Amino acid sequence: MKIGVRRHSEKGVTIIELAVVMAIIGIMALFMTPSIGEWAARFRVKGATKDLADALQLARLKSISDVVEYKILLDLDNRQFSVWKGNQRQSSTAWPTQEGTTITLPSGVTITVDGTTAGTIDRIFRPDGTALGTGGFGGVGGNSTSTIALNNPSNDQFQIIISRTGAVRVN
């Protein structure tokens, strides 16, 4: 057998073949890195929207089943929300019990409620399933819906629409 000559019966790869494959993988990874970052940012805002929509649905369902008001307290400055149980069927004067824990939105995700970007806003669900909120439901003009928008730095936006009837929908 001559040195450096490969026979068809020998199996394996050469160092050059391995280097070419590694170079191709490196080039592909280089081009994919920016899109992975954008995907992750979109995934975070989409997940946060789902979590908030789930909490809104939970508050509505618990209000109906417990026959007492429940509210979602949205802290826009700290990017947090929590679910609270009221003390009455209507016009609760106290919210003594927090249901679950306070949820903080992922970094980079911002929240806007009917155009408001700062302060604390709530959305209240009554035992009949209807919804209302402090500061006017639906912003100026008293619309029949309230829009909660979640955004990320890449300008991906997801909206949660709450109707006065209590229906919660994600756009």
Phi, psi (rounded to 5 degrees) for 64: -65, -45
Cα gap 56→70, rounded to integer Å: 9
| 168 closest CA partner among 72, 82, 47 | 72
CATH number of 15-170: 3.55.40.10
pLDDT band at 9 (very low <50, low <70, confident <90, very high): low
Contact 147, 114 (CB under 8 A): yes
d(CA 102, CA 24): 46
Sign of the dihedral through C-alpha 111, 80, 48, 147: negative
Mean pLDDT of the 32-46 span: 78
Decide if pLDDT at 120 tops 60. yes
Is 75:103 a contact under the CB 8 Å cutoff? no
Mean per-residue pLDDT, 8-27: 86
